[in-house]
A and B are shown apart, each in its own frame.
Chain A
Amino acid sequence: MSAVTSPGGGRLHGGVGSGERSREIVHVEHVMGTAVSIHLRLGTGSQEPSSTVGAALERACAELHGADGLFSTWKPESPMSMLRRGLLSPDEVPDEIGQVLDLCAYVRDLSSGWFDPWAMPGGVDPTGIVKGWAVERALGALRVRDVAAASVNAGGDVAVFGEPAEGTRWRIGVRHPWRPDALACVLLVDDAVATSGTYERGPHLVDPRTGGPRACAASASVVGPSLALADGMATALAVGGDEVLERLAELPRYEGYLVRTDGTEIWTPGMPFDE
């Protein structure tokens, strides 16, 4: 059975035997306030998990915990929390925080201000992008020999590479905003998809223009090459609605899909629905 040790106390399924499924490894890591699901498909000739794969999985989980330690606004000792309270200056925080804030500024401009970590109550809060950013780095750690394909799903924000099975594309369901066990649609994803909505954690989305709660979407999904960017734009889409969808339509290689609060749907022309 599995030769890989579990990096974070999670469970590993891996097996040697016949059939496609036996060459898959699934690991669930509880971090960043959610459950991160990692699926790996081993390449041909890697009939059992190698030490390379185990080390890559450990690095991937370390990336997630590292991002949590740096950025968590729930942990008072995190550099992000200390920056927010003025206990650290921008020059004193780790480089990663500067990188993420630069990315935040970029997405703020892309979204016409509908994603704006500087307008959050309580000080600058890049939470809307950090998870996607961390998952991208975790997925990067999994790009090693012996791993033919992988997905990292952090509580609903998904990044993938490779083919889930030979000759196939990743089929990612978008949760139905009003039915927990149903799907709004199925997407064919080659890189990343992020979805934002208020049905899981209540009205946490903030209108950067008023500082108050706002959501004009029951569900907002963004597909594209970067999960960090998709994560931020999905948040913007959930708050800004149609206006943000217009921005997405102009953005090469990104697509958006919006279920409005009244159940009407709208999407950009290239949205990769599995019809």
Chain B
Amino acid sequence: MKRYPVVLGVTAAGLAGVLGFHSHSGTVAIGGTSLGAGNAPSSNHSSHTGPSNTRTPATTPTTSPSSTGASGSTTAATGRLEQYGYGQLSVRVTMSGGKITNVAVATLQTAESYSQQLAAQVIPILQREVLSAQSAQINGLSGATYTSEAYAYSVQSALDKLPK
């Protein structure tokens, strides 16, 4: 299911610091949400039968980070930075109804080359994504509102620079 099966082992200490018990160690997929020994609730996406189309991307997480369990409240905690092979990392764990519903990498500090390599691998792949906006022959860009300052770095700003 994963196009980029990048999996890092996380030390037991890292998770124990968050979860408060010591017998548990897990395998965390960076940027994803699968936990080796977790109790993930069933996805609330799979049963959708509305008048819409849906798909699951290549990097399917098993839970939604914002999902709330049917019983009990949702709490989240971020562990302290832990050393791993290429730098430092901290893990954010979300619990709902006494079960772990999400594990995500909260902080990732790596050497530059690894950082870029990892950043390229954790982002979900969208069905129609176009990685080079500049080559897409578009007339305009729709997106979340950028500030006047951020405009200078936007694709729209590039589109606004007509050749003389």
Residues of A within 8 A of B (CB): 13, 15, 21, 24, 26, 28, 30, 33-35, 37, 39, 131, 151, 153-158, 160, 164, 170-176, 178-187, 193-201, 214, 216, 219, 221, 242, 245-246, 249-250, 259-269, 273, 275
Contact of B144 among A28, A158, A197, A214 (CB under 8 A): A197
Residue B132 at the A interface, CB < 8 A?
A: yes
- The answer on a CB contact under 8 Å between A35 and B132 is no
- The answer on a CB contact under 8 Å between A172 and B140 is yes
Beyond the given A13-B164, A155-B147, A260-B45, could you list 4 further A-B residue pairs with CB under 8 A, ordered by the A residue number? A35-B156, A181-B132, A200-B146, A261-B66
- The answer on a CB contact under 8 Å between A264 and B143 is no
The answer for the CA separation of A174 and B64 in the assembled complex, in Å, is: 23
Across the interface, name the chain B residue whose C-beta is closest to A250. B51
Known: A172-B139, A196-B144, A197-B143. A15 touches B164 (CB 8 A): yes
- The answer on a CB contact under 8 Å between A34 and B146 is yes
Interface range, B side: 35 or more
30 example contacts (A-B, Cβ-Cβ < 8 A) are as follows A34-B146, A35-B148, A37-B140, A37-B156, A153-B156, A155-B151, A156-B144, A156-B146, A158-B140, A171-B138, A173-B136, A174-B142, A174-B143, A175-B143, A176-B126, A178-B123, A179-B123, A181-B155, A185-B130, A199-B144, A201-B146, A242-B48, A242-B52, A246-B51, A249-B51, A262-B63, A265-B126, A266-B48, A266-B52, A266-B54
- The answer on a CB contact under 8 Å between A35 and B124 is no
- The answer on a CB contact under 8 Å between A198 and B144 is yes
In the bound complex, residues from chain A placing their C-beta under 8 Å from that of B156 are: 35, 37, 153, 156
